[in-house]
Amino acid sequence: MTEASKRAKLGVVIVAAGRSSRMEGVDKQVTLLGGEAVISHSMREFEQFEDVGSIVLVMSADNLDAGKAAVEAAGFSKVVGVVAGGERRQDSVKIGLDLLASQVEGSPEFVAVHDGARPFIDAEMIGRGLVTAQKIGAGIAAVPVKDTIKTAPHRVVTATPDRSGMWAVQTPQIFRYDVLKTAHEMTSEDVTDDASMVESVGGMVAIFTGSNDNIKITTPEDLELASLIFDRRKQGDLKSGAGSVATEGSRFGIGFDGHGLVDGGPLRLGGVDIEFDKRLDGHSDGDVLFHAVASSILGAAGLGDLGGRFPSSDERYAGFDSAQFIAESARLAHEAGWLVSHVDATIIAQRPRLASEAPKMASRLGMINGLEHSSINVKVTSTDHVGAIGAGEGIAAQAVATLTPVTK
């Protein structure tokens, strides 16, 4: 976990100032979905996300009272303002950015911009976006385009672009605050989203995995679909998987972790206590093999990384049994529609000699919830005395997880 991610505080601008012109008289922002306003669903996800410090809800002038009523009814404590938007979407976002910066603690390090009419985000998606923004400066939720795309001015086809590199963009879009603020200050022309604004001034934008459930309610038909998605999620149907794209075929994820060795044994590795005069230094139990396995599962399922999900800044994980990281990662993958079918792991250590311990570690892995039906392979290698590991200063591990879709 980097120092930047430990410091990260996320501000949120939820944009709900549209006119609902295609909703045939129904206001999509405040219409009920599952008994509460559409905007309340996404607000709740941000409210419950630990790194979120403040939320601004930007409504149309006509809907201010309805927005305030939704916040009050749900008891959202992180909402610092419900304000009227501007003429254009980017004007509404700018109003939200300015209000976030006016708080006592000042502007947040990161800001998420989200459409109020997208009620089906989840914590995993927000986490993926924050990690991406920490690494790149700007991250946008998106899913691969599945349909053939045609360029057709005046409805006459002129080209069929290759869809293999195309993505359908969603929100949330998460940025370093200063990156988005600067883009707004430098851009006056109309843009369709905040990422376009950052791109136009030379900023780099990366994609993180969105969800096919993460629809934007624009028409009455969308509202009907949203009701179906809400009912399916409420019933716990795993076929689509909250926070993931469609589950077709197998997925593979790679995890890696390494820690230094410090005085005082025993050595905890692969869930096994090994007699040795040193142990792995780490916030939890330092078990690099288990950390690598958990990371590979999260990666294969598109659920972010280990540090984002189990931060070392959280005192709950001090001395934590890393088997629980694996069990929780497997559970989250299962919720997203995936089963762990195989794990292949390699320990990289010069000392102590661990070959005789590998079968015990494989057996211990196979007993962890979520891996009990998986095939497990654990190998051991060294660096032939090259580098810090070769000098006996640390141990590392790499794992590859294979995930297959949940079937009913």
CA-based nearest residue to 114, from 175, 23, 63, 181: 175
Q: Tell me how far CA of residue 175 lies from CA of 183, 301, 341, 343, in angstroms.
A: 11, 23, 36, 34
324 touches 228 (CB < 8 A): no
Per-residue pLDDT, 376: 87
Q: In what order do the strands lie in the sheet with 167-176?
A: 79-84, 52-59, 10-16, 110-115, 167-176, 138-144, 206-209
Task: Give Cβ neighbours of residue 299 (< 8 Å, ≥ 6 apart).
Answer: 253, 254, 255, 305, 401
Per-residue pLDDT, 321: 85
Q: Write the CATH number of the domain with boundaries 251-405.
A: 3.30.1330.50
- Of 3.90.550.10, 3.40.50.150, 3.40.50.720, 2.30.30.240, the CATH number of 3-234 is 3.90.550.10
Indicate the pairing of strand 32-33 with strand 375-381.
unpaired
Is 196 annotated among the ligand-binding residues?
no
Per-residue pLDDT, 27: 62
Per-residue pLDDT, 62: 86
Is 306 annotated among the ligand-binding residues?
yes
Is 366 annotated among the ligand-binding residues?
no
3-class secondary structure for the chain? CCHHHHHCCEEEEEEECCCCCCCCCCCCCCCEECCEEHHHHHHHHHHHCCCEEEEEEEECHHHHHHHHHHHHHHCCCCEEEEEECCCCHHHHHHHHHHHHHCCCCCCCCEEEEEECCCCCCCHHHHHHHHHHHHHHCEEEEEEECCCCCCECHHHCCCECCCHHHCEEEEEEEEEEHHHHHHHHHHCCCCCCCHHHHHHHCCCCCEEEECCCCCCCCCCHHHHHHHHHHHHHHHCCCCCCCCCCCCCCCCEEEEEEEEEEEEECCCEEECCEEECCCEEECCCCCCCHHHHHHHHHHHHHCCCCCHHHHCCCCCHHHCCCCCHHHHHHHHHHHHHCCEEEEEEEEEEECCCCCCHHHHHHHHHHHHCCCCCCCCEEEEEEECCCCCHHHHCCCEEEEEEEEEEEECCC
CA atoms within 13 A on the CB side of 395: 28
Is 116 annotated among the ligand-binding residues?
no
Measured CA to CA, the distance from residue 174 to residue 133 in angstroms comes to 6
Is 307 annotated among the ligand-binding residues?
yes
Whole-angstrom Cα Rg for the chain: 24
Per-residue pLDDT, 294: 93
Is 291 annotated among the ligand-binding residues?
yes
306 touches 295 (CB < 8 A): yes
Measured CA to CA, the distance from residue 298 to residue 309 in angstroms comes to 9
CB atoms within 10 A of CB 13: 28
Per-residue pLDDT, 244: 38
| Domain regions of the chain by residue span | 3-234, 251-405
Is 92 annotated among the ligand-binding residues?
no
pLDDT by 10s per residue, the chain, length 408: 343 444 448 999 999 986 654 544 456 677 777 777 889 999 999 999 999 999 999 999 888 988 898 888 888 999 999 999 999 999 999 999 999 999 888 899 999 999 999 999 999 999 999 999 999 999 999 998 888 889 998 899 999 988 878 899 999 999 999 999 999 999 889 988 999 999 999 999 999 999 989 999 988 888 888 888 887 776 654 344 443 343 456 889 999 999 899 998 899 899 989 999 998 887 778 899 999 999 999 999 888 888 778 777 777 767 678 888 999 999 999 988 899 989 999 999 999 988 888 888 888 888 888 887 778 888 999 988 899 999 989 999 999 999 988 865
Residue in the structure block whose two tokens are 């540090």: 307
